[in-house]
Homo-oligomer: A and B are copies of this chain.
Amino acid sequence: MKQHDIPVPLCNKCALESGSLFKHLSPDEIITINFEKDFRQYRRGDILYQEGNRISGFYCIHSGIIKVYKTGLDGKEQIIRFAKAGDYIAYRSVLSNEPACTSAKVIEDCQVCFIPSEILVSLIKTNPEYALELLKLACHELGEANSFITDIAQKTVRERLAEVLLFLVHDFGIDEQQYLKVSLTREELANIVGTATESVIRLLSEFKTDKLVELNGRKIRILNERGLEKISNVFS
């Protein structure tokens, strides 16, 4: 968490680039945030906060990737979502005024800004446009959670794994050679799908046999997106 010579990113620039919700703020409000925020850096494996913590603010991600997860019985993680540049995390527990219901851990080294709760609350109170956007965000996430629930309850592991791969493609993109830009362990994949690590390994190698993907260690190459869509039953 040493700062070296890395310049603290400016919210106005960052908001434009990342499309974070700060783009709805006035210049004055941006200045306040810039002043009040705390810039932090984390490396893979670091934990930003843990389930049960009372959190005194939220994080806006400037770069890197974070996984947000719940820990179930016997310590098994269930990954709820990922956060990348422009995303907020921990705002849920700030606004509902509850302890964190999730933990957040770094997947790819990241830079984040920590903004105290009071700032968020006062923005909501003085900038209705921003409040509305926050509501929109929360409601959108709620919709995604609902779909997730239905998927886990009704689809097979095979279908869900295909769907997760497609989700990762859309959320993080693929490079010129069709390689997924995020790199996750098999266990992390299992913790998104909601299954055992071994099942992910077996199914991935089936997908490989079926020429849907190519596997190079943690790097996954997407060969046949349509095929994965068919398996995942995403469209009706």
A131 surroundings in chain B (CB, below 8 A): 124, 128, 131-132, 135
A147 within 8 Å of B (CB atoms):
yes
A37 within 8 Å of B (CB atoms):
no
Q: For residue A69, which residue of chain B has the nearest CB? A: B150
Q: Quick check: A95 and B139 within 8 Å, CB to CB?
A: yes
A72 within 8 Å of B (CB atoms):
yes
Q: Quick check: A153 and B152 within 8 Å, CB to CB?
A: yes
Q: Quick check: A152 and B121 within 8 Å, CB to CB?
A: no
For the complex, count residues of A whose C-beta is within 8 A of B.
Answer: 46
Q: CA–CA, A230 to B98, complex, Å?
A: 25
A73 surroundings in chain B (CB, below 8 A): 154-155, 233, 236
Contact with B along A116-156 (1 / 0, CB 8 A): 00000100111011011011101111110111111111110
Q: For residue A160, which residue of chain B has the nearest CB? A: B153
A128 surroundings in chain B (CB, below 8 A): 124-126, 128, 131
A78 within 8 Å of B (CB atoms):
yes
**Shortest distance in angstroms between A128's beta carbon and chain B's nearest beta carbon?**
4
**Shortest distance in angstroms between A69's beta carbon and chain B's nearest beta carbon?**
9
Q: Report whether over half of chain A's contact residues are helix, strand or loop; otherwise say mixed.
A: helix
* Residues A135 and B136 in contact in the complex (CB < 8 Å), given A98-B143, A150-B70: no
A92 within 8 Å of B (CB atoms):
yes
A153 surroundings in chain B (CB, below 8 A): 72, 78, 152, 194
Q: CA–CA, A188 to B129, complex, Å?
A: 40
Q: Quick check: B145 and A145 within 8 Å, CB to CB?
A: yes
Q: For residue A68, which residue of chain B has the nearest CB? A: B146
A177 within 8 Å of B (CB atoms):
no
A216 within 8 Å of B (CB atoms):
no
A135 surroundings in chain B (CB, below 8 A): 95, 124, 131, 134-135, 138
Contacts A92-B143, A95-B135, A96-B142 known; 8 new A-B pairs at CB < 8 A: A70-B149, A78-B149, A91-B139, A93-B143, A125-B128, A134-B135, A142-B142, A145-B148
Which residues of chain A have a CB within 8 Å of any CB of chain B?
70, 72-73, 76, 78, 80, 91-93, 95-98, 101-102, 121, 124-126, 128-129, 131-132, 134-136, 138-143, 145-155, 194, 233, 236
